[in-house]
Amino acid sequence: MDRLLQGVQIRINEKLYLKDPESSGLGKKIIEFSIQLINEIGFESFTFKKLGLQIGSNESSIYRYFENKHKLLLYLTSWYWGWMEYQLVFATNSISNPKEKLLKSILIITREIKEDSSFSHINEVLLNKIVINEYSKSYTTKEVDTENKEGFYSIYKRLVGRLGEMISLVDADYQYPTSLASTILENGLHQHFLKEHFPSLTDCNNQVTPTQFLTHLVFNTLNQKIDE
């Protein structure tokens, strides 16, 4: 994974930024340290002023890259889903058996990110935590419908689409492939969240992973055995 990604750039909707953060040192610092700071203090308390302080830069300079922190969150999460999509396609491309392919996809999507692939200034371990804790805030706003039209969620939607297709390839008669796909994505995050903050609301723990739960759920729903 590592080496290969160095040549790949994840394409983010251009309307999410005023100036491409990948185009300068300051831009990259904004991305790198916003991930750290959001993790530390949470998205609500996070401000451009505090970020400026952290990176020894000025609030006004950050505003030249992003209109506001909401757009920054959309940028970060889009990057995450783009990265996820890349991993998914890369790892499953060569698999022809539909069941095996779906199995692998569920693993990639629902596993915990434990090591930074360190191909860039983006720490995927921390970004994964941000997505677990804050992703829902990016779409539970009054502006969601206009922002959806602007294409701010298109990478995520594409990912759900890919997963839905894989489900249909395993069972063409299954009636809810898209709902099941979105459930895997969303519940994958949610079980990780519960494991951390509400252990009494999940069976996942250090022994049992969200991947196991969801793999069992999906394959039983599709009336398939997991044969290897």
Partner DNA sequence: ATAATATGATAGCAATACTATTATATTTGC
Partner DNA sequence: GCAAATATAATAGTATTGCTATCATATTAT
**Site residues, DNA (CB under 7 A):** 19, 24-27, 45, 47, 49-50, 56-61, 63-64, 67-70
Q: Is the dihedral of CA 72, 31, 124, 102 positive or negative?
A: positive
The least CB distance from residue 24 to DNA, in Å, is: 4
* Interaction pattern, residues 169-208, with a copy of itself; x per rule: CB under 8 A: ------xxxxxxxxx--xx--xx-xx--xx-xxxxx---x
Residue 137 in the binding site for a copy of itself (CB under 8 A) = yes
Of 18 and 41, CB closest to a copy of itself: 41
Structure tokens at 215: 């793999």
Q: Given the rule CB under 8 A, which residues bind a copy of itself?
A: 41-42, 44-45, 133-134, 136-137, 139-142, 144-145, 148, 153, 157, 160-161, 175-183, 186-187, 190-191, 193-194, 197-198, 200-204, 208, 210, 213, 216-217, 220-223
